Structure 1
Amino acid sequence: MANAHMNKGTIYKMQDMHAEALKEYLKALQLFEKEGHDVGRGMVLGNISHVYLQLRNFEKAEKYLKESEAIAIKSNDKEALGSVAIALTNIYQETDMPKAIAYASRAADIYHQLGNKYSEAVALYILGRCYQESGNYQQAPYYTEQGLVLAKEVNYPNLLAQLYVNLSNVRYHQKKYQESETLALAAKSKDSTNLEIKHNALLNQVRNNMYLGNFEQSAKYLDEYTASIQQLATDEYQGSISNLEAKYETEKKELQINALEKQRQLYIWLGVAIAGGLLVALAFAYIRYRLAVSKRKLAEEESHRLEQEKQLVAVQATLDGEAAERSRLAKDLHDGLGGMLSAVKMNLPQMNGDAILEAMDVTRLQTALGMLDDSIQELRRGSSSHDARILITLWTKSISI
């Protein structure tokens, strides 16, 4: 996934879509950092730096390259160190030429140690250009020719064309016009599609032939150079129009997508709000239902409690009535029945003295008197404890006797 984002960023970078390229590179960087992939991080940082270099933001370009360099040093990645050195050379060519020369030389040494002839030739080409741009036309051809030897070995046409045209520039400044002319022709023959190389070679041919006295040839190259510049301007204009149209369509689609996304989010929030409202309403209804049930239950419990209180009052009244009735009955028994039993007891001894009774009757009479005494005692005790039921039972027994 990180490599996919990095490749996508490179496509955007080649189309000069810098914001989109940076967005993809930063996604790749985040994924590489999450995985702890230092090599991938270094590559992405280098690509981010190149975008800022295209934007001529040299400060940020240097910042990201220094981070990439630190990773390469930590992992002892020579290939990455060479790549970073060349990238830093491109930055310092705009800001600090001595540093640019130092980094280009370092890159050439690294690639020489690795045996990477192509990259060494590139580093030598850049080093030759640094000396040329600083006006040192003694060192410039030395490194350019070394690079040319290596480029011929790897046989890479575009690199050969760049080295030929760079050496043609040096020979022109050295006033070696014929050699500069030959090198310009060689550059065009190696790569005729690269307009930068083509225009540089044609310009050298115009100037060389003027100094060589070949004015007609110079005029011919000038016409060719002018036509190529005009064609380039037209192509660039058309390309700009196409890019603007493509950008317009892209932005239009993005606006539509954004509008649909916002609409979708609005519907989602509306759905959430409605669902939330329904949940609140249901919760409120449930709470009301529970409150109603609780109130009804409390009312039923209160009614049941009142009913129990009524029953308790009725029972208490009954008990109080029974207690009063027992008290009255005990009093009646004590006052009425007790007096009658006492009178019977007083008369029975007289009957025993005056009447002639048989021995069995005397015994029965004595027994009756004893039971009568017991009844009187029980009646008195029962009256004091209000136990009328026992008194009635005893009284019933005495009557039966």
Structure 2
Amino acid sequence: MELVLEFSVHNQVVMFIGEADQVVNNALLGFYVDTSCLDEVLKVFEVMPQRNVVSWNTLIAGLAGQDRPSETLGAFRVMQGEGMGFSWVTLTTALPVCAQLTALHSGKDTHGFDRMHNRDLTSWNTMLAGYSINGQINEAWALFDEMIRSSIKPDGITFVVLLSGCSHSGLTSQGQRLFNAMEDYGEQPSLEHYACLVDILGRSGKLEEALNVAENIPMRPSGSIWGSLLNSCRLHGNVPLAEIVAKRLFQIEPNNPGNYVMLSNIYANAGMWEDVKRVREMMAMTRIKKDVGCSWIQIKHKIHTFVAGGSTNFRRSAEYIKIWNELSNAIKDLGYIPNTSVVLHDVNEDMKATWVCEHSERLAAVAALINTGAGMPIRITKNLRVCVDCHSWMKAVSKVTKRLIVLRDTNRFHHFQNGTCSCKDYW
């Protein structure tokens, strides 16, 4: 009904006003962004005789909201090319998109200033999040101490950031103490904080304690809490608990493919192929599809996308074959051996080895090696968690190429350099 009304309003504007002025056109853009009618946003924007910062901000927000990061940054560059300038709204929309694509150069161009004279709580939380997601938990704790000394009162986001950092760094006792200290700062734990605590306990192998927390939360547990516990069951190979947790998840999030895939992976790791088949049949019956692994890199000002098992023409190119063979020989000499256990299908070892080599982040890394100068850092974004074997492969490649490789997956940033990773193999 809302959408019909908005189209009707647009028609009335055309009929009674004729050529709308800038204010009316901006309002129409806002209408269509709010209702996710991106095609209409583009049409209105294209015919506008005059555009101001508000017009561009609305277009950029519409593209970002529809998960079209490359086009979002493209619109921002055109905006700057036309000498339009920008506002804080522009920056707060464009910078997260740069982060999503690990587009460092675009982010720096967008940022354009180096020092903050006034730091509010958002500034502190942003810095804490940056340290935490990049595996620099000690720096995060030092900054938190400085924040407290500066009389800045932490909020719920502060604690989510630090608790998450503890979880991904294996700081179990420190994370528990922080959770218990929240009330000292006037903060009551929310579902997000409980999810972090469950993750902290589960990742460290304290699965029974994690289950006890999940079952006794003073509010209705969310999918994120049970999903965190299911992931811990995967990490520690606890099939019986995984089945209990998965049943809860299927009730809360019946259409989330990640839950089915994780349970299937747990069965596969245990060699329970009949159960793997059963879960996949459940997915087929309910038409739930697994997310395809994708990775992105930025070369100059263009974003390149790679899909697991795809990019056939690229993999057949002479450049790719040359670099791939050189890398394979060099990392083999380092002692790298493919870990085919990450291929969770009941196929022979040769097929598993082939599939592992076609993971999207590897294709992106080779493309970056081909298209960037020696010594330049490589930055990759992936839509799924990096697997154990690709993690080992990236470490080896960083050593033989003497390149810094920064890989952002769904959990964190991994900084591979000289054969090691910033996550210390705990992610």
- The answer to which structure, 1 or 2, has the higher relative contact order (CA under 8 A, 6+ apart) is 2
Structure with more of its chain in strand, by fraction: 2
Does TM-score exceed 0.5, indicating one fold? Answer: no
**Could you say which structure has the larger radius of gyration?**
1
TM range (shorter): 0.3 to 0.5
